[in-house]
Amino acid sequence: MAVPVPGLGLLTYRLPAGTPPPPRGARVVVPLGSRRVVGCVVERHATAPEGAELRDVAAVLDTEPFLPADVVDLALWVGEFYACGPGDALTVAMPPAARRGESDAFRLRVRVFPGQTPDTPPRGARQRALLAALDGHADGVLQSALAASGITPDVVRRAAVAGLVRLSEEVDERDPFAAGEGGWAVSSTAVDARPLTDEQRAALETLTTAADAREFRPVLLHGVTGSGKTEVYLRLARHVIAHGRRVLVLVPEIALTPALAGLFRATFGERVAVQHSGLSEGERHDQWHRIRRGVVDIVVGTRSAVFAPLEGVGLVIVDEEHEASYKQDETPRYHGRDVAVVRARMDRALIVLGSATPSLESATNAEAGRYGVIRMTRRVLDRPLASVRLIDMRREIAATGAETALSAPLVEALGQRLAQGEQSLVLLNRRGFATVIFCRECGASLECPHCSVTLTYHRAARRVRCHYCNYATHVPRACGECGGAFLEHSGVGTERLEAEVRERFPHARVARVDRDTIRRRGAITRVLSAVARGDLDIVVGTQMIAKGHDFPAVTLVGVVAADVGLGLADFRAGERTFQLLTQVVGRAGRGEMPGEAIVQTLHPEHYSVQAAAAQDYATFYAREMEFRQAMAYPPTIAMVNVVVRHRSLDRAMADAADLVARIRHRRVPARILGPAPAALARLKDEYRVQFFLKGRQRRPMRDALLAALAERPDLRRRTTVDVDPVSVG
C-alpha cells in the first residue's frame, strides 16, 4: 500500500474478513497514526514482516483499478528515482477530488421527455405549461432549461410521479474548450492543409517510420523558431492515431496550453482532452475520467499530464523540452520531460522532444547517440530570422545619468512600429513596479520578515509583496531602521515598464502579461486573442510572452535587462539566458514582414548573449559545455541537492552536518559539497542549509542519503531531496 506521506515506503495492511481483495491501482482508506488517509493498492498479496501487528483497511473505494497498471508502474519509478516515496508520486497521478477519497460520480443533468401515459390529465396550469414546453421536442428538454423558463424541478418531479413526463439522467461534462468566460476559443484554421517545407516533410517521414516500429524511440527535434515544429506534431499525431494508438502532448506552462490544445481540438475534434492545474476541479475531474474511459485519443497538458490514464500510447511529444517549468518545485520533485521519456519506454512508444534551444541534457544525449536528432534550420517560407541589435546599457546610463527602462534605440523602434501599424513585444523577466524600496538616509531596504529577500513594490495594489511567501503589506511612511521619511524606489519590473511605455506612447494600445495580470481565469487567453486580432499595439510581459506563440504581425521584440539572470548563483544561468533570448527574438518576423530584436544588456560581451544574438546554438553549446565540464556540473555528472530547514540557523547547520557525516561514513562514490547556507537562506520563517552530492551514478548517492535519513527520521519532514535539480537556490 502506498500512502501520501513524503519519503515513506510501502505499508502492509490487513483486509477485514469477507472483504474481497481490491485490485492493484484501486484506492482504499487506511489508518495512519491517529488519522485516516487515502492510499493506493500496489501489491495485493504482500507478506508482512514476522511479528508485525497489521491494522485493518478501513474502506475499499474502488472495485476496479482506479489507476491503470502502467501509470502505477510509472509513479513507482518516480518515487524511487526522485527519492520521494511511492505515495506522493501516486497522489500526483490522481485528480484532486480522488486524492481526498471523494465520490467520483459525474455531475448529472436531467432531460425531461413526455410521459408514457399521455391519457393522464395534467393537474393545473404549471403541469400544462410543462407539457407545452415539451411539445415538439422528441429528444426532450434539459431540466435546467425548464427551470430558466420558470418551471421548477418540483413541478417536474410531481409530473414524473404522475406519469406525465419521463426523466433521464446523463453525464454533464464541463468542457474547458467551450467559448465564454474562461473558455478557450478553438482555432478554425485548417493547420494540416498547408503545404510542408522540405525540412518538415523529411522530419515527418523519419518520425512516422520511427512510430511505425512500435518500439521505444527518443528523438530530439531541434528546429529554429518558426520552422514549423507544431505542424509536424499535428501530422505525426494523425498518423499514429490512424494506426490505432494514442498521443500524449506535454507543454511547459498553462500560458501555452490554450493555443496548442486549440490547434489539436480543431484538427481532431472532441477526442482531445486537456490536463493542467488551471482548470477548475470539476473540469479536471471530467477530463481525467474521459481519458480513463478511453474516449480520448489525445491528451494535451502540463507536466502532471505525464500521469494521464491514457492507454495504448504510441507517441509522446514534449514541446519546448528545455523549459525549467517541467521540473516540479515541490515534492515529488520530478521532471516532466524525463518522466515522459520513461513513460515512452514503458509503452514502447516514440517520444519527440522539440525545441529551438535544446537543454544541454537532451543535446548531450543526442550527441552521444542515445537520442536520434532531426534538425530544422530554416523558417517556413524561408522567412529570415529577426535581425538583432545589442544595446550596451552602461553607455545608455552614462549618457542619461539615471536609471532607465527603455533605451533611446528601443523607444525609436517602438515609435516606428506604431506609425506603421505593426505590433511589438517588450520583455522584462521581473514583475512588479520596483524591485527594491530603500531609505535614502541610511540605505536600509524593505525586506520580507519571513524570507531573506527584498519586497517588491506593486503600485496598482499600493502594496509591497514577497514573491516567495506572498507576504504583503502597505508601503511604510518612514524607514523602519532610522525613521527617515525619504524612501526611494529602485529597480524596474513589468508594472513600471508598462507605465513608462504608456507614458511615452499615450495613444498606443498596451497590455501587460505577467502573473499579476493573468490570475483571473481566461485572462491570458483574452490577451493572446487580442494580439492575434490586431487589437493591441504593444505587449509588455515576462517570459510568458517569450515562447510558443505565433504572432505574424509582431515585427519588433525589445528585451529589457536581458542579463537579469546572469547574476544569479546558479550554474544554469548562462543556459537560461541564452534560451530566453533566443526564444523571445524568435517571436519577431514570423509573418510576411521582417522582424527586428533590440536587446538591452549590461554584459554584451557574455557568450550566452552573443550566441543568442547570432542565433548560434552550436557555439553556445560548445562554450557552455566547457564550463560545465570544468566545474563538474550536469550534464557531465549527476547531482543531488539536499536542503535542511529549521527555525534556528545553528540547528539547521548541525542537522545538515550530521547527514553529511553519515553519508561520508558509507563511502559513497560521490563528492559532497557543503553544508552551507542556501542562496535563499531564509524562507517562510525557516533557515535553509544545503549540501550537494556529485557523482557519476545516482543510485549510490540516493541510497546513501536515504539510509542517512532513515537513521534520523526526525529530519525527514525538514529535508528536501532534489535529484537532478534545475536550480540550486
Give pLDDT, residue 183. 43
Phi, psi at residue 149, to the nearest 5°? -95, 10
Which tens digits make up the pLDDT trace of 507-522? 999 999 888 777 777 7
Which tens digits make up the pLDDT trace of 603-638? 999 999 999 999 999 999 999 999 999 999 999 999
Most confident among 164-168, 332-336, 425-429 (mean pLDDT): 332-336
Provide the whole-model pTM.
Answer: 0.88
Give pLDDT, residue 284. 86
Q: Hey, how many other C-beta atoms are within 10 angstroms of the C-beta on 425? A: 25
Residue 470: pLDDT over 80: yes
> Is residue 325 very low, low, confident or very high in pLDDT (cuts 50, 70, 90)?
very high
Q: 401 burial class (0-12, 13-18, 19+ CB within 10 angstroms)?
A: exposed
Q: Which of 36-45, 105-114, 491-500, 530-539 has the lowest mean pLDDT?
A: 105-114
Task: Name the residue with higher pLDDT: 79 or 494.
Answer: 79
Q: Hey, how many other C-beta atoms are within 10 angstroms of the C-beta on 532? A: 18
Which tens digits make up the pLDDT trace of 5-30? 888 889 999 999 888 899 999 999 99
Edge-to-edge strands of the sheet including 108-114? Answer: 141-142, 108-114, 165-171
Residue 340: pLDDT over 80: yes
Please give the torsion angle defined by the CA atoms of residues 354, 360, 365 and 366, in that order, rounded to the nearest 10 degrees: 60
Residue 221: pLDDT over 80: yes
The sign one gets for the Cα dihedral 126, 128, 130, 132 is negative
Residue 192: pLDDT over 70: no
Q: List the beta bridge partners of residue 719.
A: 644
HSE of 696 in the Cβ direction (CA atoms, 13 Å)?
A: 1
Give pLDDT, residue 379. 85
The sign one gets for the Cα dihedral 194, 195, 200, 202 is positive
Give pLDDT, residue 182. 42
Task: Name the residue with higher pLDDT: 308 or 266.
Answer: 308
What's the angle, vertex CA 157, arms to CA 151 and CA 162, rounded to 5? 110
Span 132-137, mean pLDDT?
81
Class of domain 191-382: alpha beta
Residue 122: pLDDT over 50: yes
Span 221-231, mean pLDDT?
92
The sign one gets for the Cα dihedral 387, 392, 393, 397 is negative
Give pLDDT, residue 585. 87
Beta-carbon contacts of residue 279 (< 8 Å; ≥ 6 apart): 176, 287
Contact 626, 620 (CB under 8 A): no
Buried b (16+ CB within 10 A) or exposed e, 468-504: eeeeeeeeeeebeeeeeeebebebbbbbbbbbbbeee
The one-letter code for the residue type at 14 is R
Q: Which of 125-129, 336-340, 387-391 has the lowest mean pLDDT?
A: 125-129
Cell of 229: 515544429
Span 105-122, mean pLDDT?
60
DSSP 228-271: -HHHHHHHHHHHHHHTT-EEEEE-S-GGGHHHHHHHHHHHHGGG
Find where cell 532531426 sits.
374
Give pLDDT, residue 232. 96
Q: Percent of the chain, pLDDT > 70? A: 92
Cell of 681: 537562506
How far apart are the C-alpha atoms of 273 and 173, rounded to whole Å? 12
Edge-to-edge strands of the sheet including 463-465? Answer: 456-458, 463-465, 472-474
Q: Which of 347-356, 439-448, 603-612 has the lowest mean pLDDT?
A: 439-448
Give pLDDT, residue 194. 76
Give pLDDT, residue 187. 47
Helix (H) or strand (E) holding 23: none
Q: How far is CA 179 from CA 257, 290, 640, in A?
A: 15, 20, 45
Distance of CA 161 to the CA centre of its chain: 50
Residue 540: pLDDT over 80: yes
Pairing of strands 141-142, 108-114: antiparallel
Give pLDDT, residue 193. 65
Give pLDDT, residue 637. 96
Phi, psi at residue 91, to the nearest 5°? -65, -40
> Is residue 139 very low, low, confident or very high in pLDDT (cuts 50, 70, 90)?
confident
Residue 172: pLDDT over 70: no
Class of domain 387-435+491-627: alpha beta
Residue 188: pLDDT over 50: no
| pLDDT averaged over every residue in the chain | 87
Contact 534, 418 (CB under 8 A): no
Give pLDDT, residue 276. 83
**HEC readout, 67-122:** CCHHHHHHHHHHHHHCCCCHHHHHHHCCCHHHHCCCCCCCCEEEEEEECCCCCCCC
Q: How far is CA 405 from CA 402, 410, 648, in A?
A: 10, 10, 40
Span 337-365, mean pLDDT?
97
**HEC readout, 350-376:** EEEEEECCCCHHHHHHHHCCCCEEEEE
What's the angle, vertex CA 319, arms to CA 248 and CA 202, rounded to 5? 95
Give pLDDT, residue 401. 67
The CATH homologous superfamily for domain 27-99 is PriA, 3(prime) DNA-binding domain (3.40.1440.60)
Find where cell 411539445 sits.
135
> Is residue 565 very low, low, confident or very high in pLDDT (cuts 50, 70, 90)?
confident
Which tens digits make up the pLDDT trace of 286-295? 889 899 999 9
Span 231-253, mean pLDDT?
95
Architecture of the domain delimited by 638-723: 2-Layer Sandwich (3.30)
Residue 96: pLDDT over 50: yes
Give pLDDT, residue 185. 46
